[in-house]
Amino acid sequence: MDAYDLITRNVSEVVTDEEVRALADSPDGKRAYVGYEPSGVLHIGHMLTANKLIELQEAGFEVVVLLADVHAYLNDKGTFEEIRETATRMQEQFVAYGLEESQTEFVLGSEFQLDEEYILDLHALELETSLSRAERAMAEIASGDGATVAQAVYPLMQALDIVYLDVDLAIGGMEQRKVHMLARDALPSIDADAPTCLHTPLIADLTTGVGKMSSSEGLSLSMEDSESDIEEKVNKAYCPPTADPDPTDDGEERENPVLQIFEYHVFPRFGEVVVERPEKYGGDLIYDAYADLEADLESGELHPADAKGALATYLNDLIAPGREKIREQRN
């Protein structure tokens, strides 16, 4: 795969395509980053953007992971001490997941976000941004109801991080897109370039296929799940024989989360998928491309129960090193 294909594989959106093509022309030494609010354990959403970071490392990018402790504090995720402690644990889990430690720069937000120069630039952005714009940018990120002043400051800091970390490409899930659009509009006012952005898809709710999987509601998959937790959850997943299911009776869009996880997690990390089946049911199926697995599910050649069985096995392989790390961290 060439650099452009690696960068754009499995993404929902790039802003802009022209800018990404320019990066792909000379990716070596270019810097890409994702920021995460530190939390106790990695969940499948963290792992999805991490897959993209691993692909970018393959394409020659330098990768920066921001452990956004100040952002987590502003988003009411705990005391500063608690957040700091989870940041260290999260870093270790990312390395266990497969981010090359020697090629990944882990940065704690508070290492630079409390410097005078950063704060003054932040105030300059505050002058340029309406409260309603900041609030809209946070609609899919903010926790709790009712916006706080802290939540209005948050997206402006996220914009400024792009400048202070000197990155060429900002990455996030689709829920980050409005923050990035704000960054593109606001950063030129402090003489910084509008950043190039890449957004990864969101995995749908596991049991309904509606909306997005969330660690606060419904079933979510995380590194602390045991093998049997994963098997049970995947078993309960919504998996009609199509990648494009009909909407619900209320007109809500549905996705097939089992196929999404194959597409965004399993194929990128394993390349090939073997679905084990007894001889009497036709024997093993071997796929070296996601599209073939999807086509077989749609045609009925691959039964949803067999697809789920294989998915649980691969997911368990993916999280095994992280699960082991969490066990160590708790001892």
For ligand IYR, which residue has the nearest CB?
35
- Which listed range, 31-39, 57-65, 259-267, 308-316, lies at the site for ligand IYR (CB under 6 A)? 31-39
Q: Which is nearer to ligand IYR, 68 or 152 (CB)?
A: 68
The residue among 245, 238, 290 whose CA lies nearest residue 266 is 290
Residues 290 and 297 sit within 8 Å (Cβ to Cβ): no
158 marked as binding residue = yes
Contact between 172 and ligand IYR (CB under 6 A)?
Answer: yes
151 marked as binding residue = no
- Which listed range, 64-72, 205-213, 248-256, 287-295, lies at the site for ligand IYR (CB under 6 A)? 64-72
User: Least distance (Å) from ligand IYR to the CB of residue 171?
Assistant: 7
User: Least distance (Å) from ligand IYR to the CB of residue 134?
Assistant: 13
Which residues neighbour 316 within 8 Å (Cβ) at sequence distance 6 or greater? 227, 230, 231
Cite the DSSP H helix spans in the chain: 3-8, 17-25, 44-58, 69-74, 80-97, 116-128, 131-137, 149-164, 177-186, 227-235, 257-261, 267-270, 290-299, 304-330
The residue among 288, 273, 68, 289 whose CA lies nearest residue 157 is 68
- Which listed range, 9-17, 35-43, 94-102, 261-269, lies at the site for ligand IYR (CB under 6 A)? 35-43
Selected from 6, 7, 19, 36, the binder of ligand IYR by CB under 6 A is 36
Contact between 161 and ligand IYR (CB under 6 A)?
Answer: yes
- Which listed range, 66-74, 114-122, 243-251, 298-306, lies at the site for ligand IYR (CB under 6 A)? 66-74
Cβ atoms within 10 Å of 117's Cβ, excluding its own: 9
Cβ atoms within 10 Å of 199's Cβ, excluding its own: 21
Contact between 66 and ligand IYR (CB under 6 A)?
Answer: yes
Please, which of residues 239-268 interact with ligand IYR by CB under 6 A? Answer: none
Contact between 52 and ligand IYR (CB under 6 A)?
Answer: no
Task: Label residue 114 left, alpha or beta by phi (over 0 means left) and psi (-120 to 50 means alpha).
Answer: alpha
Q: Rounded CA gap, 75 and 10, in Å?
A: 29
Residues forming the site for ligand IYR (CB under 6 A): 34-37, 66, 68, 71, 141, 158, 161, 170, 172, 176
